[in-house]
Amino acid sequence: MSLLTIETQDHKGVFGDKIDILELDNFTNTEEITAISIAPNASKEYYEKIKTFLQRCNNNIGISNNEVFVGECTKEEFYKGEEIINSIIEKINPDWTDLQKSAFVHYEMGKIISYYPDFNFLSKNIHTSDGNKLMNNVNNDCRNIWKELCTKKGVCNGIVDINRTILSRMGIKTKTLTSRTHTFLLTKTEEGDIITDPTWDLEYALYDLRPAYFGLSYEEFQQRDGDSSRAHRLDNPPENIRVISDKELRKVYSSIEKADKDGMFGRKVIDEVDRINKMHFNDDYEKYCYVLEQFADKFSEKMNNLSENRTILQIILYNMGIDIEKLETSFIYDKSDKVCENPILSLIYEDSNGKGHATILNQEEKKFKPMKLTEFDEKYNLHVCNEKTAGWKKYIDKTKEKMDKQTEMKERES
């Protein structure tokens, strides 16, 4: 692909004709360019040409990887994002097969990007207390390749675009697969097309665990979705898909040094689960508190990845025999955050006595902080567009009901 779209001051808001990249050397009025939209899956030479061209453009230019100029980044963000992309490419052995290169990039995604929490509300209009309507800009930012890489926050189609961009610079052809609710990836290798989902594997890659969504068949994706999800259900699914067996997957990841010589992945999480399972606790709540404390201590450098930590924590607790049906995890917002731009991971756990316990992940301290439910309720909200009743309310209502009954009994006795 060698085309790009340019927007100038004279035609702001109007999409110009596509320009062949070979014409850029003849483009003289670069100071008038306000925005440029470039292909997300072009060759290495294409991007080198873009970098040279941008040096001649004004510093206020917006750069997008979407034809309708959605989610623009600055020149500074573009160059920083390019550094991250090139740092991954530099780690790749040019003699590797396309499958090995694809496996490597798939796994690296967990190190450079995190899925943005509460995505369901990003596209909705938010009304502030004074009646003004605001659009959450994160919705667009999470789809711009270079801004995503700078903020480490993305959504599925933006994450897939990053993956495609890196692979395209090594000459590997890819195709975006889009259902009604989700975006994933088809990659062409020497031995056939494979389906991967870099977004759903972010937590496994972040914690050096075995990828769960690399090289599955289309049918296997359906099985893992279950009956309630249409995430990977396509109207026209690809045919002749190559399936990567567990044995081959481990062999591939061993060959690129993401697994050991026996095909075993990092055991830090698994060993921690085994260690805690051998310990004695008076009850599940005591064990739950200990897990949170140890998790934050041993994996403190990963505490900013909210979505991935939410999933990994649930997996860990489940494997420790703790009933996760008694655990409610959600993203909440400080009541001073009127436009809901800074999600916080919260956990409400119900002990054996039916009492609820609130905890938040304090990202600055990189620790889980327990709070009284009343204090929690005074300080935090669900997203303003969330129509559900906050889960912790039922425990506050229970406590209030119990106190009211005690007060009523005392009044009768007196």
Mutual angle of helices 44-54 and 75-89, in 10-degree steps: 150
Q: Which domain holds residue 389?
A: 268-402
From 72, 105, 131, the end of a domain falls on 72
Residue 181, classified by CB atoms within 10 Å of its CB into exposed (0-12), middle (13-18) or buried (19+), is: exposed
Contacts of residue 350, Cβ cutoff 8 Å, sequence gap at least 6: 326, 327, 356, 357, 395
**Residues 153 and 210 occupy one common structural domain:** yes
Q: Is residue 83 part of a domain?
A: no
Statement to judge: residues 130 and 211 lie in one domain = yes
The domain total for the chain is: 3
Are 82 and 148 contacting, i.e. CB atoms less than 8 angstroms apart?
no
Classify residue 40: in a domain, yes or no: yes
Q: Cα separation of 114 and 109, whole Å?
A: 8
Local confidence pLDDT in tens for the 414 residues of the chain: 445 666 655 544 334 556 666 677 777 777 778 888 888 888 888 888 888 888 888 888 889 887 666 688 999 999 999 999 999 999 999 999 999 999 999 999 999 999 999 888 877 766 655 555 555 567 788 899 999 999 999 999 999 999 999 999 999 999 999 998 899 999 999 999 999 999 999 999 999 999 999 999 999 999 998 877 889 999 999 999 999 999 999 999 999 999 999 999 999 999 999 999 999 999 999 999 999 999 999 999 999 999 999 999 999 999 999 999 999 999 999 999 988 889 999 999 999 999 999 999 999 999 999 999 999 999 999 998 888 888 899 898 775 555 545 555 555 555
230 and 342 share one domain: no
113 domain-assigned = yes
Choosing from 41, 72, 103, the residue where a domain stops is 72
Q: Spell out a b/e string for 258-295, using b for 16 or more CB atoms within 10 Å of the CB, else e.
A: bbeeebebeeebeebbeebeeeeeeebbebbbebbeeb
Closest CA to 102 of 192, 200, 172: 172
- pTM exceeds 0.85 for this model: yes
